[in-house]
Chain A
Amino acid sequence: MVQRNLWQTLILLCSLICVALFVFDRGVKSANSPIQTPAQTDAVFEKAVRPFFANNCYVCHNDERLTGDLSLEIFKTAASLGQDRATMELILEKLNAGAMPPAKMPRPKREDVAAVTQWLSRQLATAPQKKAVPLDAAKPAEINPGHVTARRLNRAEYDNTVRDLLGVDLHAADDFPQDDSGYGFDNIGDVLSLSPVLMEKYLKAAEKISRTAIFGVEPLKPTLVRLRLPERSVPNQMTPLTDYDLTGLNLPNAIHTTYRFPVDGEYVIRASLGGERPAGSEPIKIALWLDGREIQMVQFDPAKAASFTDASERQALGGMTQEFRTKITAGDHWLAVAIPHLYEGLPASYLGPNPSRLPVPPPRVFKPPPDLTPQQVETRRKELEKHRAEKLPANSARIKSLDLGGPYAVTVGPSRQSLSKIYACGHLDGHHTKGCVRLIVEHLSHRAYRRPVRPEEVTRLTSLIADVQRDGGSFEEGLATAIQAMLLSPHFLFRIERAPLKLLTVAAARSLNQHELASRLSYFLWSSMPDDALLAAADRGRLDQPAVLEAQVKRMLRDPKSHALVENFGGQWLQVRKLESVKPDRKRFPEFDEYLRLSMRRETELFFEGIVREDRSILDFIDANYTYLNERLAHFYDVPNVQGPEFRKVLFAADAHRGGLLGQASVLTISSYANRTSPVLRGKWVLENLVGTPPPPPPPDVPNLDEAKIGSASSMREQLEQHRTNAVCASCHTRMDPLGFGLENFDAIGAWRTKDGLFPINASGTLPDGRSFDGPRGLESILKGQPDAFAECLARKLLIYALGRGLEPGDDAAVKTIVKNVGTEDYRFSSLILGIVKSEPFQKRRRENPR
């Protein structure tokens, strides 16, 4: 202890060179010998490793400070460290990368570092793959595929499974409590709990879903919903524009929203209008857009509608509404109401395009009330003249809010889709012989439980039907009750992988049975149950043939249902789900509106989906020279020649600033604060999601940035650099901040900028290992220069998601194999997915360790 304190003091006091003289250089020789006996191992540890830790590491990584959650002080013997693979790997990684000791600390001698890294490498090579578990001791060579706890269907999986099982798309899970997430994903078996609240909702949902499947959508009373949206400020434009978005969708005068429609039916969309048009303007047009397509356009003449304002002076739109009535299918839709050709039809005096052909209305005759004094009359006259002389902005007309009424004219009766999924036997219109009952129930429960069902299971369900019938209910009533029971069964709600009874006492890993494998596949790629083709392959026992498995995976990736992978895996990996809840400061970023938010999200979804469907290289995530844009986003990115609200693939010019995920506004927005960018958050985002080396959490009581100063007294970079003079902070921030600096040209909602406040942007960065770069494209080429690091990062995330559990040291070998194969297959997306599907952890399972 005395020695440590002395060293601590010295390190703090001396300069780099001063300390380097004291660093031990003993032990290097013995470390060079190829094979070590345990005694030698201990000797090297005593002579080289532990003193190295003491001299270079204990100052932060001691039992009290626990910087980065790590103390090296606790490793007093070679054996104690030798058992902790994870820590050894961590130290090795940091030393090899030159990331430790942190830059501000004295540098150890190269040969001292080498002595330690050699010792660690040797330990790692010889030490057992994981902590010895008695049960595994018999077969140390076997990879441990790990245990996956029974997984409850999460909300997305529940909805998708119900849709595919019964053809019912009610989104019942919208009412369920939020699923907790672990390891970054919300499908982790151990973490997903089942509270009484959820059970109550399951009960309710099961009844509603089963009745909808059998009898059709329950009659819904039409209701009125106000779609509340933050109103956008419309900056006054006094002279009409000639070059602007004619659809009006990109202008702040339009309104955009998404809404989940409960059932197929007719809905009324009522737009409340606002603003004013100058007297003598022609009627405006108002257009309703659904999912990026214009579906109705009407003419609206404010001069003809009742108003408190005299239309010969100005046309006031405030308080006026325009209704649309249209058929809309159940599910999520993107609704927009816009004013097309906003700057047309204005009075000729505005000198705008296509001016109004209506005569200028004659000025109102001034008729003062009779009982005014001459002075008062004069005041009134002046007020009126002033009012008349005041010129209205050319763009004040706007859509203020939307109300939604409905549903009306709902289709009655069960859908054809539901009927064909339910009635495996007999006529679709409901005449079923007694012989059909068992067949129908067996077929349904086979699919609901995603495995063959035992005859007694079918019997229990059919007896439920019989009971209802005995009670006077119809067969359909009984069947609905049976379906309700299936939807509540643990065999439906959970994905349980059960070892056959005789294997329960054996610790050995076993391959999954065919149906368990089919379920793993379909929930991985579709977040839903296996479809008939996959189930049939499992029924026939063919999924263990590599060619069959491969063909199934490729088929599933091409299927539109693989959108679930984009939405659920992609949304959580890239964290773009957060986009729903970000609230950029409205004052600083007035252009951030719903349309932009929706467009950002769509871009990243389409980008990911393109890589999946076209089986492109996963390195496209880093530096693709293309993306998907609509006019709104193209305008925001300053990309020319993209017109209209529909998205299309756009190639970037060679000198473009953007490319890959790091140029997408979605990612740039969710990794920023509401009012400013954060190189730290962005750097962390890159490390976590693209490089796979997340920094440890910050210690408590860290000083924060002085926000008031940013952009006025000092640049963000200066502030952060000051922050990094603290050695403890520096150890992580030298890794995070430079990455974030590379993205500083993008503001907190992802728009390009060259200045932050008063200061020009400096987007260069130097990594701890000395490599430097400039700007986002420079950062991308650095990342692209280590493709396997990215591939491993993505492989690990996908494996967690596919297995529904956190990774363990036993999974490392599998990850390495996957990454190696992806590299030989041009990093194609399907090769990554296939690598995961064929890996031991995916194909096998082990029984839990008994406690």
Chain B
Amino acid sequence: MIITGKRLPRRTFLRGLGTVVALPMLDAMVPAFARRANLDLKAPIRMAFAYVPNGIVMKDWTPKTIGKHYEFTRILKPLEAFREDMLVLSNLDSHTGNALGDGPGDHARAGASFLTGVHCRKTAGADIQGGVSVDQIAAAKLTGATRFSSLELGCEDSRTVGDCDSGYSCAYTNSLSWRTPQTPMPPEVNPRAAFERLFGTEDLSLDPQTRARRAKYRKSILDMVSEDTRSLVKTLGPGDRRKMDEYLFSVREIERRIANAEKDPRQITPTVNKPAPGIPFEFPEYVKLMCDLQVLAFQSDVTRVVTLVMGREGSNRIYPEIGINDPHHPLTHHRNNSEWIEKVTRINSLHIELFAYLLGRLKSTADGDGTLLDHSMLVYGSGLADGNKHTHEALPVLLAGRGGGSLKTGSHLTYSAGTPITNLYLSLLDRMGVHQESIGDSTGQLKELDGL
């Protein structure tokens, strides 16, 4: 390559000041996208996942009867107000979370398989290998439709040292979302950082011209570094090359976001104030704040895919807010000790109360011809059913929201043994307009969800 001092980058550096004055990428207040502005178009469907760790006390979860008019069990009770907006789905499996010859490590596998349907490779380090998760499949297909193709939120700091579970890398327990089998998407756990990611940090006190100039420089810098990287890649071995490919992907992703932001000059004012730095001290407050951000993201249509990890798989969180000072994970190995089971049940109930908060917020937010909840599909669940025995079958799964009228809600459905949970995901992707052949171990679409 011949490089001279006069050479200009691929995207010509300056098109003359003032011609392309786009909003800087990190500019405050994100635009809704042009297609929303087309009047009378149906509101888009959003997809979300909420994960809770360490299984559920299933006897207090599963409703006794099938079909409509089922009785809400003790744990599900807080959701009763949303009976007509949700489905309880029983007997779905995540078979790939089982050992399958790999020995211990059920927590890591439960987390890693929940959204992927893939049995992850047992390794504590170098060669992590999982599967592509359903949210990321949707995100990849929806790229360009919204500013962010997906948003990953978490409510437990992943500050961990060493193996996270029996020789499994922490990557498996930290991230539910996987963009590629080697690339986990760790959730953002800091509410303020999540807010800034959505709505920017740029100093609005700067004059627009300066902001525009800086945005332009950013673009040329990205041009320059990606060209540098491309020439670097040629001299590298496969492992190093993989690292540089990751780098290049990320640069392109940022460039794409900038381009998206340029397409739409409108501004939205967030309805939530910028959170304080740091993480709220009380767990319920923390989760609610993350839920608020999720609602905000859907409301302003900056993304249509959100994954919320309420707790990492294997979580040892204590819940002093509800008088539980024992760590969660050891409690779930209760060996049928009734006191411990009671404590786990209370933790399970607290999580459901918080999920009910999220549903309530979605239901009270108007969106197009209905509410956000009407236009959403939220899967709530855990990759383990019985935390004591580490079972990966007959998982606790809820599906909330009406999917823009495409879901026939209000029932408790149960499936025949061996139905993979990934079948549910296939059906949901379909409703997002993403027609996928299969996900992980899926065997086909789930019936009975149709409102038709």
Contacts and interface: CB of A to CB of B under 8 A. Distances in A.
Interface of A: 66, 69, 147, 149-150, 152, 175, 177-178, 180-184, 186, 188-191, 193-200, 203-204, 206-207, 218, 225-226, 228, 230, 456, 459-460, 462-464, 466-468, 470-473, 481, 484-485, 488-491, 493-494, 496, 498-499, 501, 504, 571-572, 575, 577-578, 580-581, 583, 585-587, 673-675, 697-704, 706-708, 805-806, 847-848, 850-851
B335 A207 contact: no
Contact-residue size bin, chain B (C-beta under 8 Å from the other chain) = 35 or more
Given A149-B240, A501-B235, A181 B161 contact: yes
A467 B247 contact: no
Contacts of B26: 204
12 contacts: A182-B125, A194-B247, A196-B253, A197-B188, A463-B6, A467-B14, A484-B221, A674-B325, A674-B326, A698-B166, A848-B238, A850-B238
A571 B160 CA distance: 11
A180 B222 contact: no
Contacts of A674: 318, 325-327
B346 interface: no
Interface string B209-233: 0000110011011101100110010
B71 to A, nearest CB: 31
Given A178-B186, A188-B126, A697-B103, A196 B254 contact: yes
A615 to B, nearest CB: 27
Interface of B: 3-7, 13-14, 17, 26, 99, 101, 103-106, 124-128, 157-163, 165-167, 169-171, 174, 179, 182-186, 188-190, 193, 197, 201, 203, 213-214, 217-218, 220-222, 224-225, 228-229, 232, 235-240, 243-244, 246-247, 249-251, 253-254, 257, 276-278, 281, 318, 320, 325-327, 330, 333-335, 337, 339, 388-390
B236 A496 contact: yes
B126 A182 contact: yes
Nearest to B103: A69
Contacts of A207: 214, 218
B174 A180 contact: yes
Q: When A and B form their complex, which 4 residue pairs have the shortest distance between CB atoms, in order from nearest?
A: A182-B125, A697-B166, A199-B250, A190-B126
A580 B3 CA distance: 51
A604 B276 CA distance: 32
A704 B330 contact: yes
A578 B158 CA distance: 11
Contact of B186 (A195, A577, A702): A195
A107 to B, nearest CB: 27
Contact of A175 (B126, B193, B246): B193
Q: Which of B162, B167, B188 has the most C-beta atoms of chain A within 10 angstroms of its own C-beta?
A: B162
B225 A494 contact: no
Contacts, number: 238
Contact of A190 (B127, B186, B190, B276): B127
A184 B124 CA distance: 9
A700 B389 contact: yes
Contacts of B221: 206, 464, 481, 484-485, 488
A191 B250 contact: no
Contact of B243 (A149, A581, A698, A704): A149
B195 to A, nearest CB: 12
A180 B14 contact: no
Nearest to B236: A498
Given A470-B14, A848-B237, 15 more contacts: A193-B184, A196-B249, A197-B197, A199-B251, A225-B276, A228-B278, A459-B4, A460-B7, A464-B221, A490-B232, A491-B232, A498-B240, A501-B235, A577-B159, A848-B238
Q: Which of B6, B246, B334 has the most C-beta atoms of chain A within 10 angstroms of its own C-beta?
A: B246
Contact of B217 (A180, A463, A484, A701): A484
B3 to A, nearest CB: 4
A191 B128 contact: yes
Given A69-B167, A701-B390, A704-B330, A150 B103 contact: no
A572 B159 CA distance: 11
B168 to A, nearest CB: 9
Q: Which of A196, A203, A587 has the most C-beta atoms of chain B within 10 angstroms of its own C-beta?
A: A196
Nearest to B253: A196
Nearest to B246: A194
Contacts of A673: 326-327, 330
Nearest to B183: A193
A234 to B, nearest CB: 19
Contact of A181 (B101, B160, B166): B160
Nearest to A190: B126
B13 A178 contact: no
A228 B281 CA distance: 7
Given A195-B186, A196-B250, A806-B126, A181 B170 contact: yes
A488 B222 contact: yes
B232 A496 contact: yes
Nearest to A218: B203
Nearest to A459: B5
Given A199-B253, A459-B3, A184 B158 contact: no
Contacts of A230: 281
A525 B327 CA distance: 36
A93 B102 CA distance: 23
B213 A490 contact: no
Contacts of B17: 471-472
Contacts of A462: 5
Given A697-B104, A700-B389, A481 B217 contact: yes
A178 B318 contact: no
Given A150-B244, A459-B4, A468-B217, A490 B104 contact: no
Contacts of A472: 17
A261 to B, nearest CB: 12
Contacts of B157: 178, 581
A369 B312 CA distance: 62
A422 B225 CA distance: 21
Contacts of A851: 238
Contacts of B99: 700
Contacts of B159: 178, 577, 580-581
Q: Which of B126, B171, B184 has the most C-beta atoms of chain A within 10 angstroms of its own C-beta?
A: B126
Nearest to B245: A194
Nearest to A63: B101
Contacts of A197: 185-186, 188, 197
Contacts of B105: 697
Contacts of B339: 708
B169 A182 contact: yes
Given A207-B218, A490-B232, A467 B13 contact: yes
Contacts of A485: 221, 224-225
A485 B240 CA distance: 21
A459 B335 CA distance: 69
